[in-house]
Amino acid sequence: MIAIVLGTRPEIIKMSPIIRLLRDNQEDYLLIHSGQHYSYDMDKIFFEELELPVPEFYLDVGSGNHGEQTARILTGIERVLMQERPDTVLVQGDTNTVFAGALAAVKLHIDVGHVEAGLRSHDRRMPEEINRVLTDHISEYLFAPTQESRNNAVLEGIPSDKIYVTGNTIVDAVQQNLRIAEDRRGFLDEYGLKTRGYFLVTAHRQENVDDKFRLRNLLKALEILRDEYSMPVVFPIHPRTRRRIEEYQLNVSPDITLIPPTGFLEFLVLEGNARLVLTDSGGVQEETCILRVPCVTLRENTERPETIEVGSNILTGITPGEIVQAVGTMLEEETNWTNPFGDGRAAQKIVDSIHTR
Ligand code: UD1
Ligand code: UDP
């Protein structure tokens, strides 16, 4: 039996092609939800839109400091795994849920499969980098999206026969949902947005939004972009970021369209029709690359260097001047790059690798 552990928005989206495949093949599998994300628009909406089964186990861990949250997930998952005894535990990405799930499993001598293995920002101040490195080193299967991510793991001494280059399941998820998302195009009208006539923004990275100075700079840059290009700026706001804006009492110009986090289908519409996307999200860097929409990443480094190499994305510092300049640069680029994240059959390759080992 395969147990799938998930807990946050990107894990639900990127695990969805694997869950669908296991379900369609009528395989023996089990879903364990940590409850790291729990608000309707960060969690349940994705199960509904992607028509995913309700998890058999829901741990309800909620928010907290890193140690506290990771410990609660670890304890809860260990209990489920001792009871259910799956052969393999699959985790996806780099969140606290991923590392806790992998650690609980490996201590019980259950094989861990890490989906999206081998990514490295080489920035140990990021909690995600710690989670990725540790998870890779305790995994039995490393499902690397690209050759580059495979090389990262090999360079750290991980045996190459544990590593499978599969592509990223986000390509599967985009392909499976893009046509369905077309039916939600009316979503643009709700906010008066025209195709290629607006900037889309997301920001939630701890290093950016838990720093008052950086967050204020970002909001300032958005105001400048709004004025300079006379284009709406739409910002579906992550709960962490909303909380920080309130706590720091930052003023958001009424010209910036703050909206609640959207479902995946609506977000695909927003991304696919934007003139350019500004983000610090990992998944959004990949999706803009897949959808051929220019991206400016509000970070000094990225664990998705493939997007920089193909020319879909650039990194920028966080001063308003740097952000505005980066946007200017990307707006002049051609958008005919090739997607480096695979052919949309990552889920199949992952499941096949587990079965044929
Ligand atoms: C987490 C992941 C991050 C991932 C992101 C995806 C870690 C260390 N971080 O960051 O890698 O990119 O998810 O979105 O695992 N909150 C709510 N409702 C929710 C969830 C969170 O209101 O459903 C608020 C709470 O105030 C919470 C804060 O957001 O304290 C942060 O949530 P948390 O899960 O700790 O981190 P994320 O920033 O979501
Ligand atoms: N996303 C969404 N609604 C939003 C913002 C993002 O559905 O309002 C999706 C997006 O399409 C991508 C994923 O959430 O697939 C990215 O999640 P997030 O940025 O929270 O995390 P990260 O990828 O940085 O770990």
Q: How far is CA 311 from CA 116, 227, 339, in A?
A: 21, 26, 10
Catalytic residue list contains 204? yes
Distance CA 61, CA 48 (A): 21
pLDDT tens digits for 195-240? 999 999 999 999 999 999 999 999 999 999 999 999 999 999 999 9
Let me know if 319 is exposed, middle or buried by CB neighbors in 10 A (0-12, 13-18, 19+). Answer: middle
For ligand 1, the distance from its centroid to the CA atom of residue 99, given in whole angstroms, is 15
Averaged pLDDT, 116-144: 98
Contact status, residue 47 vs residue 12, Cβ threshold 8 Å: yes
Domains in the chain: ranges and CATH: 2-168+342-356 (3.40.50.2000), 178-331 (3.40.50.2000)
Averaged pLDDT, 120-133: 97
pLDDT at 305: 98
Strand, helix or coil at 281? coil
Contact status, residue 141 vs residue 115, Cβ threshold 8 Å: no
- pLDDT averaged over the chain? 97
- Residue indicated by tokens 């977000």: 267
pLDDT tens digits for 149-179? 999 999 999 999 999 999 999 999 999 999 9
Q: Quick one: which ligand is closest to 285's CA?
A: 2
pLDDT tens digits for 18-42? 999 999 999 999 999 999 999 999 9
- Of 8, 9, 289, the residue with max ligand 2 atoms within 8 A of its CB, to mutate for a pocket test, comes to 9
Distance CA 310, CA 334 (A): 11
Q: Say if ligand 2 is within 6 A of residue 7 CB.
A: no
For ligand 2, the distance from its centroid to the CA atom of residue 207, given in whole angstroms, is 17
Averaged pLDDT, 82-92: 98
Distance CA 180, CA 98 (A): 29
Say whether pLDDT at 318 is over 90.
no
Q: Say if ligand 2 is within 6 A of residue 267 CB.
A: yes
Q: Say if ligand 1 is within 6 A of residue 264 CB.
A: no
Distance CA 339, CA 325 (A): 25
Per-residue pLDDT band at 302 (split at 50, 70, 90): very high
Distance CA 119, CA 149 (A): 5
Radius of gyration of the chain (CA): 20
Contact residues for 155 (Cβ-Cβ < 8 A; gap 6+): none
- Does the complex come out with an ipTM higher than 0.90? yes
Distance CA 222, CA 226 (A): 6
pLDDT tens digits for 38-75? 999 999 999 999 999 999 999 999 999 999 999 999 99
Q: Which tokens hold the place of 156?
A: 């750290």
Q: How far is CA 45 from CA 41, 51, 185, in A?
A: 6, 10, 18
pLDDT at 159: 98
Residue 258: phi and psi, rounded to 5, are -80, 125
pLDDT at 357: 83
